[in-house]
């Protein structure tokens, strides 16, 4: 299944795509694509629904973040061998974990705001893992059973805030609009081989990131296992799993986003995003 949310910010409605790619409203069935709906049992109930029995929604609607009421966004840094190389960093022996504020979540086609005093605004196309069932101290073998599905995330970053303002990555990661999520959540059974998906990102029509999840150091199942040793993962939590090479910081010389720039990005089978940079 492909699940999504549409409508004005804060008033999004749940929906799914039918076999023709048309949006079908799920409001008669569920209140949101969130929390218990994403559990194994919740998704099983949705699979029993005939999409053609649901109200048809116009394609021109705004796409909201594909997951509602996210409890936390856990991010993994330097998780692609080729990205670590471009930044001059050593390949981590264990995952680098940091948190991204949930207030940074926005829709996949919404504007991205350049913060005041920002000088090094950057992009990162990433595979998002959406938790379906509560996970605490799960094994790597058990971990896939706790995953509801996958989505596209742009881990927008301000490198000056992240690296030059006291050593806390969170400062450069959690600004408003820094987490476009969607356009839809693709359930685990339909996402394909998530360890070998093409992923890309363009800025103003120029391709900067052209990679694959196959260069990911720590794969999704291991990450769910690993993070669950430090904090419980709850339905609707999101793990953003790192980015391939081609970020602005890695260019020679570095290239950063300015007001008016357009980012377009996507992951094979998971959809595309587009954002225009505006001033905060």
What was the pLDDT predicted at 88?
Answer: 75
Same domain, 128 and 26: no
Residue closest to 108 by CA, chosen among 278, 268, 280, 266: 266
Looking at the domain assignment, is residue 68 inside a domain? no
Same domain, 95 and 26: no
Looking at the domain assignment, is residue 144 inside a domain? yes
Same domain, 30 and 151: no
pLDDT at 83 over 80: no
Whole-number Å distance between alpha carbons of 239 and 129: 5
Residue closest to 121 by CA, chosen among 129, 112, 108, 130: 112
Same domain, 11 and 80: no
Taking residues 192-211, report their average pLDDT: 97
Same domain, 105 and 211: yes
Same domain, 6 and 115: no
Same domain, 107 and 21: no
Same domain, 53 and 78: no
Looking at the domain assignment, is residue 64 inside a domain? no
pLDDT at 162 over 80: yes
Looking at the domain assignment, is residue 66 inside a domain? no
CB neighbours (10 Å) of residue 103?
12
Same domain, 142 and 245: yes
- Encode pLDDT of 27-80 as tens digits: 999 999 999 999 999 999 999 999 999 999 998 999 999 999 999 999 999 899
State the number of CA atoms in the 13 A half-sphere of 247 facing the CB.
29
Token couple for 154: 């742009």
Looking at the domain assignment, is residue 100 inside a domain? yes
* Ramachandran angles phi, psi of 132, nearest 5°: -110, -40
Same domain, 29 and 77: no
Predicted TM-score (pTM) above 0.75: yes
Domain carrying residue 14 = 2-57
| DSSP per position, 47-97 | HTS-GGGSPEE-TTSPB--SS-S---EEEEES-BHHHHHHHTPPPPSS-EE
Range list of H helices, the chain:
40-47, 81-87, 159-164, 220-227
Same domain, 148 and 44: no
Whole-number Å distance between alpha carbons of 146 and 110: 29
Whole-number Å distance between alpha carbons of 153 and 146: 19
Residue closest to 23 by CA, chosen among 38, 7, 39: 7
Residue closest to 148 by CA, chosen among 216, 234, 81, 62: 234
Q: How many domains does the chain have?
A: 2
Lowest mean pLDDT among 28-42, 113-127, 157-171, 242-256: 157-171
Last residue of a domain, one of 57, 82, 98: 57
Looking at the domain assignment, is residue 167 inside a domain? yes
Looking at the domain assignment, is residue 63 inside a domain? no
Same domain, 33 and 111: no
What CATH code is carried by the domain that includes residue 169? 3.90.850.10
- Encode pLDDT of 221-269 as tens digits: 999 999 999 999 999 999 999 999 999 999 999 999 999 999 999 999 9
What is the gyration radius of the CA atoms in the chain, in angstroms? 18
Looking at the domain assignment, is residue 22 inside a domain? yes
Residue closest to 124 by CA, chosen among 192, 164, 172: 172
Whole-number Å distance between alpha carbons of 43 and 148: 8
């Amino acid at each position: 299944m492909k699940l999504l949310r549409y409508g004005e910010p804060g008033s999004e409605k749940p929906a799914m795509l039918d076999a023709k790619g048309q949006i079908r409203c799920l409001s008669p069935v569920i209140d949101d694509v969130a929390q218990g709906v994403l559990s194994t049992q919740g998704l099983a109930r949705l699979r029993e629904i005939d999409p053609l029995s649901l109200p048809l929604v116009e394609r021109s609607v705004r796409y909201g973040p594909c997951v509602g009421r996210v409890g936390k966004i856990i991010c993994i840094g330097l998780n692609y061998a080729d990205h670590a190389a471009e930044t001059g960093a050593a390949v981590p022996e264990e995952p680098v974990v940091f948190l991204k504020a949930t207030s940074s979540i926005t829709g996949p086609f919404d504007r991205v705001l350049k913060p005041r005093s920002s000088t090094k605004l950057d992009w990162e196309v990433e595979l998002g893992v959406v938790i379906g069932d509560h996970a605490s101290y799960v094994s790597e073998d058990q971990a896939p059973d706790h995953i509801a599905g996958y989505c596209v995330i742009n881990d927008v970053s301000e490198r000056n805030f992240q690296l030059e303002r006291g050593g806390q990555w969170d400062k450069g990661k959690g600004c408003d609009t820094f987490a476009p999520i969607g356009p839809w959540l693709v359930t685990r059974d339909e996402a394909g081989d998530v360890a070998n998906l093409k992923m890309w990102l363009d800025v103003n029509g120029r391709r900067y990131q052209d990679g694959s999840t196959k260069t990911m150091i720590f794969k999704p199942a291991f990450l769910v296992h690993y993070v669950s040793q430090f904090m419980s993962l709850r339905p609707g939590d999101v793990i953003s799993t790192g980015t391939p090479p081609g970020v602005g910081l890695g260019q020679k010389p570095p290239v950063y986003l300015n007001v008016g720039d357009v980012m377009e990005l996507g992951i094979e089978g998971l959809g595309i995003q587009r954002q225009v940079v505006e001033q905060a």
